[in-house]
Amino acid sequence: MADIFERTKKLIGDEGLDKLHNSKIIVFGVGGVGGYVCEALARSGVGELHLVDGDVVSESNINRQIIATMDTLGKSKVQLMKARIKSINEACKVYTYECFVLPGEFFDIPDFSSFSYVVDAVDTVAAKLAIIEKAKDSNVPVISSMGTGNKLDPLAFEITDISKTSVCPLAKVVRKALREKQIRGVDVLYSKEEPIKTNTRTPGSVGFVPPVAGMAIAGFVVKKLINLI
């Protein structure tokens, strides 16, 4: 492995680095949470990343998304994330899909069962359910991010089975839908913080909450892949 992972090797050894280098991960959504998932996975030495997002950068993204600046407004999020990953680790294979996941229209990704892990960091319930169901049908481990909006406590996140979640309104909806589909054993990241009530339908956000969620998810995935948890 390249010298850029010398410090990482001190913690996980050559075997751990090799496992990450040979891992193939797909991340759905590269915004506030997903962008930091990609960042941490790339810096951890993951060898192949597939990025799925049909969105472009807007001004409202700048307060929390790693690829959002005044210079990147209007540009494809997955293309920006790909360029960033390559600037971190040029050996990482990066594949991009500029599209959204729609229920009943899950686009065809060749050999989905070959992924080492699936990360869901999208916003809509329908898309989350489609991603989780696809992962389960393909026998690929998946972790799903619940709500990070209307939160101010970056230390309130927890990763657990969806059945054990509380407080989070999004987790409640997803939990009910998965139960109806008889899908069990889904790991999620959620916040134990009570959502802050705002006067707008669009959730409020702040720059120090979604990034922590993304880093926590990436850490969980890495430790799973190298059998630390």
For residue 104, count other CB atoms closer than 10 A to its CB. Answer: 6
Average pLDDT, the chain: 96
Domain layout of the chain by residue ranges: 3-225
Residue 182, both tokens: 């008889």
2 vs 113, more confident? 113
What is residue 104's predicted lDDT score, i.e. its pLDDT?
A: 66
Q: Strand ranges (DSSP E) for the chain?
A: 24-28, 48-52, 93-97, 117-120, 142-145, 157-161, 187-191
pLDDT band of 111, cuts 50, 70, 90 = confident
Percent of the chain with pLDDT over 90: 92
Cβ atoms of 67 and 81 within 8 Å: the answer is yes
* pLDDT higher than threshold 90 for residue 187: yes
What are the beta bridge partners of residue 160? Answer: 188
For 3-225, the fitting CATH number among 3.40.50.720, 3.40.630.30, 3.40.50.2300, 3.40.50.10330 is 3.40.50.720
pLDDT tens figures, 87-105 = 999 999 999 999 998 876 6
Running DSSP on this structure, what letter comes out for residue 218? Answer: H
